[in-house]
């Protein structure tokens, strides 16, 4: 079964991701147990906003999630082409689209589990640090922590989906050098973003990560304007890469 093949390739990376989440959870529990004085001081001190703490802590997830997305994108069809086994794979009674979307669906399912698990641990940390802080107000109205958690999970999934799709496409395009090409594209984009900002201050290229909240003097004032549209455009971009990989595969003669 083809999904079993993808699992064999990705299981170590998935296990490492779960291990990292487990270590993060252990760290959260250890801080809570071994530092009761600091936590009690936080409870008795100024009122803390768990949403703001959550957002600050979630920032540490950006690089690990991006790396996991890049790593998962390097498995599947692109890896088979790089190892010269593509001709055998495509001799199976399946369309090339089947292999692409099987890779994408199974890889993104694993990434979704890792994103949710990591955000659950971060939310737990935010709740413990801000225990007794009262309701959360964004933009003048109360907002549930669950809503913020869902938006943050969507942001993490969009980031991993972008890294996954881009790496998957470049792996099909240049085979075993796909990861290097992906890193080159990301570095070029980040440099280009700064160049555009320097020479054309009125032009702002989008960040690689989703901007979920509006900020004012480092304070969350509400959800970002046009958040739904931004999510839809980023989801479309993430999906465009496996579509491009499918088109490329259908037009390519596999040796």
Q: Which residues contact 80 (CB under 8 A, 6 or more apart)?
A: 86, 89
Place of tokens 């906003």: 49
pTM, to two decimals? 0.86
Chain segment 44-68, per-residue pLDDT in tens:
555 566 777 777 788 888 999 999 9
Helices (H), the chain: 2-34, 36-44, 50-58, 62-73, 77-82, 86-89, 96-129, 145-174, 178-199, 227-251
Domain hosting residue 218, numbered range: 2-251
Number of other residues whose CB lies within 10 A of the CB of residue 106:
20
Range from 3-12, 114-123, 243-252 that averages highest in pLDDT: 114-123
How many structural domains is the chain composed of? 1
Q: What is the pLDDT at residue 233?
A: 94
Q: How confident is the model at residue 84 (pLDDT cuts 50, 70, 90)?
A: low
Between CA 68 and CA 10 the distance in angstroms is: 10
62-73 vs 178-199: helix crossing angle, rounded to 10: 140
Q: Tell me which DSSP letter residue 117 carries.
A: H
Place of tokens 């109360």: 142
Chain segment 87-138, per-residue pLDDT in tens:
566 666 678 788 889 999 999 999 999 999 999 999 888 877 776 555 666 6
Residue pair 235/161 in contact (Cβ under 8 Å)? The answer is: yes
Residue pair 220/52 in contact (Cβ under 8 Å)? The answer is: yes
Compute the C-alpha angle 9/10/11, nearest 5°: 105
Residue pair 82/171 in contact (Cβ under 8 Å)? The answer is: yes
Q: How confident is the model at residue 240 (pLDDT cuts 50, 70, 90)?
A: very high
Six-digit token string for 168: 């998957």
């Amino acid at each position: 079964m083809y999904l079993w093949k993808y699992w064999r390739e990705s299981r170590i990376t998935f296990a490492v991701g779960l291990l990292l989440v487990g270590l993060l959870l252990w760290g959260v529990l250890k801080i809570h147990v071994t530092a009761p004085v600091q936590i009690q001081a936080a409870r008795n001190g100024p009122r803390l906003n768990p949403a703001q703490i959550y957002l600050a802590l979630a920032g540490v997830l950006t690089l690990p999630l991006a790396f996991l997305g890049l790593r998962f994108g390097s498995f599947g069809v692109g890896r088979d082409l790089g190892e010269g086994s593509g001709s055998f794979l495509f001799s199976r009674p399946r369309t090339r689209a089947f292999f692409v979307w099987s890779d994408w669906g199974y890889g993104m399912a694993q990434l979704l589990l890792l994103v949710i698990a990591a955000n659950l641990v971060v939310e737990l940390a935010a709740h413990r640090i801000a225990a007794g802080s009262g309701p959360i107000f964004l933009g003048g109205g109360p907002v549930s922590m669950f809503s913020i958690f869902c938006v943050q999970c969507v942001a993490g999934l969009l980031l991993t989906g972008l890294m996954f799709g881009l790496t998957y496409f470049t792996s099909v395009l240049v085979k075993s050098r796909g990861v290097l090409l992906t890193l080159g594209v990301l570095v070029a984009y980040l440099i280009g973003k700064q160049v555009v900002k320097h020479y054309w201050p009125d032009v702002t290229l989008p960040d690689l990560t989703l901007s979920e909240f509006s900020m004012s003097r480092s304070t969350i004032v509400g959800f970002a304007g046009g958040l739904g549209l931004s999510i839809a455009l980023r989801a479309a971009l993430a999906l465009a890469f496996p579509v491009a990989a499918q088109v490329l595969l259908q037009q390519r003669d596999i040796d």
